[in-house]
Amino acid sequence: MRKTNDLILQTVTKVISFIIILFSIHLFFAGHYTPGGGFIGGLMTAAALVLLLLAYDIKTLDNILPFDYKLMTAAGLLIAVLTAAGSLLFNVPFFTHAYDYFDLPLLGETSLHTAVLFDIGVYMVVIGITMTIIQTIGESE
Amino acid sequence: MSLLHLAIVLPFLAAVFIPFLFKGLKSIHTGWFVLLVPLFLFIYFIQYLPVTGDGETVTKTFEWIPSLGINFIAHVDGLGLLFAMLITGIGALVVLYSIYYLAKEKEALHNFYVYLLMFMGAMLGVVLSDNLIVLYMFWEFTSISSFLLIGYWYDRERSRYGAQKSMLITVFGGLSMLGGIVLLYLMGGTFSIQELIGLSDVLITDPLFVPALLLILLGAFTKSAQFPFHIWLPDAMEAPTPVSAYLHSATMVKAGIYLVARMSPVFAESGLWLWLVAGFGIFTLFWGSFNAVKQTDLKALLAYSTISQLGLIMSLLGVGAAALHYDYLDDNIYMIATIAAVFHLINHATFKGSLFMMAGIVDHETGTRDIRKLGGLVNLMPITFTIAIIGSFSMAGLPPFNGFLSKEMFLTGMLSVLELDLFNLSTWGVLFPVIAWIASVFTFVYSIKLVFKTFLGKPQFDKLPKKPHEAPIGMLISPLVLITLVVVFGFFPNLLSNSLIKPAVEAILPSLVESGQEVDVHIYFWHGFQPELFMTLGIILFGIVLYSTLAKWQGVYNRIPERFTLNGLYDRGLSGSESGGYRLTSGVMTGFMRTYLVYIFSFFVAILMSTLIIKQGFVYDTSGLAAIKSYEVILALVLVAGAVTILFAKSRLTSIVALGVVGYSVALFFVLFRAPDLALTQLVIETVTVALFLLCFYHLPEISRKEERMRFRFGNAVLSVLVGITITLIAMSAFSQRSSESISQYHIDNVYELAAGGNMVNVILVDFRGFDTLFEICVLGVAALGIYAMIRYRSARSENE
């Protein structure tokens, strides 16, 4: 097979993927107040990784980000369930969220919400499953 | 649990030890241990004779499932005790006979005796249970153990056929009987027979009375081999002869008789009962005796003879039910029918048991049961001949044996029908004595044939597989005991009158006893010159004529082709239902997904449309509608165009792209209808889906990638349009009639107060209804793992290969 030179694609990817990831993180954190959230953020991050996959190949991506995405899915599910179950420690029903305002260094007064933890679970699961599916299908001939 | 309960279940308990005795004590025939059980039980039941003789009954209750009214109530009265004595007494003789009949080296005796003991216990349970559910339980036990015994030589095809046939027929009857029992419970509120008897005046007015009567009778008729359910009995003759002698002449086939007798006080007020029991009984009597004449196999002849005699007893019980309607008479002549039924029951058990044993001896000593090969055995087997001739003459109703007495009483009972003036009996009742007389002639013919063809006539020993000789004494003991009873009961019939027959009759007709009627059982040998005596003379005369001209009219039996006999009907019905069932499933279950989808969608449309029409649920109301804007119309047109393209596209690639168009238009709709989260997600997901579709397309085999338009099928088109219409109508109706206000205002009000968020969609997803999200991400995880497993395991498998 003829080796093609995709220098432009690779260079653009190097720049673009960071922007996409930053945007996806923004979507994720903004989710509670504006459109976005764990699901769409996760998909967007996965899209950045897919772009890397297209520009390079599976092995390179594996070297850059040596994750086992199945474990990531499992970890995401675990975080989500533990967040939901954590409320049981405080004698409130399963899946009761709590929030409060904290004065954090650097960030100043910030509201912290346990729903964000749950959303992190969703975020990880979505990245995990998307990458698992794409990697599995891509690796099979 | 009382001693009486223990006696009933003793055979079951003993059966547990049989295999150990068989394996452990190989030198002793297992039957000797088994023999102790019925002997002990027989002696145990004798002690109840004085109790029931005084008209007393014994009831012992063992609570089983009291909350459902199901208790093991053992109830000993005259009828139950009579059967219990028959079961244990003949059981002991049969076990003794089987010890000599079955060789301990060749046969699987542990199986045989376990089945036999199971049967004995089940039969005792049937006749001594007062609770109908417990009775039904034991009833099915008899069916199962009888099935096992018929199929005892399971390597023979005919045995398996006979076992299956008897199982199907008796279990069919048993289940309908269960239905009758349940109906009785619904009417009376109790499972106890004695309590139901007390309620019989109330029950007869209930609308469920007739169905219950029919169902119970169906159970009794199948078990007792009444027409047209008699066909299993001749095929059950493949069982070992002790089994035939025990089950299919003396005990199990009388379970139906027992049931009819037992339920008589409940049902007999009804004319339907009288007609059905007496009518089916008398016809079975004729049909059995008519068919017995043509049989050439000894046991088949005896089987038809059993059918016929059971019909006789059944018809007597039916006519005896008339006694209830005449309880004001001083001299109740109809009671004689019931007395005759009970008396003939005992007589039949004695002579039929001995005749079966005789047939077994002939089979055992000559190697065949075929009448055409036998003949002239009288000099070689004198004792067997004596047994045969006494048994047969008793069966034919000749003096001085007990069969003569019960046959005379039978004729008296049938003649008494002529004087009945209820239930239209005055017009059709004349048939009863006529059929009874004709059937008795045939009975005479086959009884004579049985003896004469087997023992007299020309010897033809060269046709026999074995050289015939007299049986060992052990095998002769049991038939000799029975035949002695035949003679003793013949000469001294009143031996039994007060001890057994009178209590049994009192149990069958309890309301007569309550009204002060004296059951007077006195069996006379000599009636004087009554009509029945002349009838008997006629039977003998015509019987002799018919027997001597047998060869001339035997052709009449071949007139009915095999296809139209009941057996042929049964066989064709069975194979027909099998092939019909196969055709049905193979017609409906095509194996094609498209067929099943057609079924599913058709039912979907049919059920929803009919509900909509029947409930008149269609409403169309435009008041809640928003104004339509122009860009919505344009977008809808794009969407419709995309959807139509999918249907009519020539290539699959076009379809995939058109599907993408539909998906992106939906995303745009989300934008228009102000759902930014949905729009974002829909855009990304649609992209992924289209990419995956393209992947699938790329991997299609060459042959399916060729351009081909979807084929048009009219049925599918109609169905899909119908599904669309259904959904549309329901959606419009649902929109037009909202039953409650939306709960979304709560979310709007509380999204910041309670959940500290601004994006209501996201707050609902992670907070208000986070549970859904939790399991949706589980679904995603499972899907990913599923894809991973399918692809990886497939490649791992192909590498191994």
- Which residue(s) pair with B192 in the sheet? B131
Residue closest to B150 by CA, chosen among B177, B128, B172, B169: B169
Q: What is the pLDDT of residue B248?
A: 79
- How many interface pairs between A and B have CB atoms less than 8 angstroms apart? 120
pLDDT digits (tens, 9 = 90+) for A27-59: 888 888 888 888 899 999 998 988 888 888 888
Contact B313, B260 (CB under 8 A): no
Chain B neighbors of A76, CB-CB under 8 A:
777, 781
| Contact flag B766-A118 (C-beta cutoff 8 Å) | yes
Q: What is the pLDDT of residue B516?
A: 62
DSSP designation for B362: H
Contact B540, B510 (CB under 8 A): no
Q: How many whole angstroms separate alpha carbon B719 and alpha carbon B598?
A: 8
Chain A neighbors of B798, CB-CB under 8 A:
none
* A5 Cα to chain B: minimum distance (Å): 24
| Contact flag A97-B755 (C-beta cutoff 8 Å) | yes
Please classify residue B357 by burial: count the beta carbons closer than 10 Å to its beta carbon, then call 0-12 exposed, 13-18 middle and 19+ buried: buried
| Contact flag B762-A129 (C-beta cutoff 8 Å) | no
Tell me, yes or no, if A96 comes closer than 8 A to chain B by beta carbon.
no
Total number of domains constituting chain A: 1
Structural domain includes residue A121: yes
**Which stretches of chain B sit within 8 Å of chain A by CB?**
676-677, 680-681, 684-685, 688, 695, 755-759, 761-763, 765-767, 770-771, 773-774, 777-778, 780-781, 783-785, 787-788, 791-792, 794-795
ipTM over 0.85 threshold: yes
* A13 Cα to chain B: minimum distance (Å): 19
Chain A neighbors of B769, CB-CB under 8 A:
none
Chain A neighbors of B681, CB-CB under 8 A:
39-40, 43
Q: How many whole angstroms separate alpha carbon B422 and alpha carbon B504?
A: 26
Compute how many other C-beta atoms are within 10 angstroms of the C-beta atom of residue B118.
Answer: 21
Tell me, yes or no, if A102 comes closer than 8 A to chain B by beta carbon.
no
* B65 Cα to chain A: minimum distance (Å): 43
Chain A neighbors of B780, CB-CB under 8 A:
73, 125-126, 129
Among chain A residues, CA nearest to B780 = A129
Q: How many whole angstroms separate alpha carbon B712 and alpha carbon B704?
A: 18
Tell me, yes or no, if A125 comes closer than 8 A to chain B by beta carbon.
yes
Chain A neighbors of B680, CB-CB under 8 A:
27, 35-36, 40
Structural domain includes residue A17: yes
B586-B587-B591 Cα angle (round to 5)? 65
Q: How many whole angstroms separate alpha carbon A75 and alpha carbon B302?
A: 81
Q: Tokens 């910041």: give the residue.
A: B752
* B770 Cα to chain A: minimum distance (Å): 7
| Contact flag A34-B681 (C-beta cutoff 8 Å) | no
Structural domain includes residue A1: no
Structural domain includes residue A105: yes
Q: How many whole angstroms separate alpha carbon A59 and alpha carbon A45?
A: 19
Q: What is the pLDDT of residue B726?
A: 94
| Contact flag A115-B758 (C-beta cutoff 8 Å) | no
Chain B neighbors of A113, CB-CB under 8 A:
756-757
Chain A neighbors of B777, CB-CB under 8 A:
76-77, 80, 121-122, 125-126
Tell me, what amino acid is at B642?
G
* B685 Cα to chain A: minimum distance (Å): 8
Q: What is the pLDDT of residue B134?
A: 92
Contact B719, B602 (CB under 8 A): yes
Chain A neighbors of B784, CB-CB under 8 A:
70, 73, 128-129, 132-133
Q: What is the pLDDT of residue B534?
A: 82
| Contact flag B791-A140 (C-beta cutoff 8 Å) | yes
Contact B317, B338 (CB under 8 A): yes
Tell me, yes or no, if A41 comes closer than 8 A to chain B by beta carbon.
no
| Contact flag A70-B785 (C-beta cutoff 8 Å) | yes
Q: Tokens 């009949």: give the residue.
A: B101
Phi, psi of B59 (to 5 degrees): -130, 125
Q: What is the pLDDT of residue B796?
A: 60
Structural domain includes residue A90: yes
| Contact flag A40-B677 (C-beta cutoff 8 Å) | yes
Q: What is the pLDDT of residue B638?
A: 93
Of A38, A119, A137, the CB nearest to B791: A137
Q: How many whole angstroms separate alpha carbon B349 and alpha carbon B483?
A: 11
Q: What is the pLDDT of residue B707?
A: 64
Domain that holds residue A55: 7-139
- Which residue(s) pair with A104 in the sheet? A108
Tell me, yes or no, if A81 comes closer than 8 A to chain B by beta carbon.
yes
| Contact flag B780-A129 (C-beta cutoff 8 Å) | yes
Of B680, B688, B774, the CB nearest to A80: B774
Structural domain includes residue A2: no
Chain A neighbors of B770, CB-CB under 8 A:
84, 95, 97, 115, 118
Of A35, A118, A126, the CB nearest to B780: A126
Tell me, yes or no, if A24 comes closer than 8 A to chain B by beta carbon.
no
Chain B neighbors of A110, CB-CB under 8 A:
none
Tell me, what amino acid is at B536?
T
For B797, the token pair is 């498998």
Chain A neighbors of B759, CB-CB under 8 A:
31-37
| Contact flag A77-B763 (C-beta cutoff 8 Å) | no
Structural domain includes residue A98: yes
The crossing angle, in degrees rounded to 10, of helices A7-30 and A38-55 is: 170
Q: pLDDT below 50 — which residues of chain B?
A: 330
Phi, psi of B695 (to 5 degrees): -60, -45
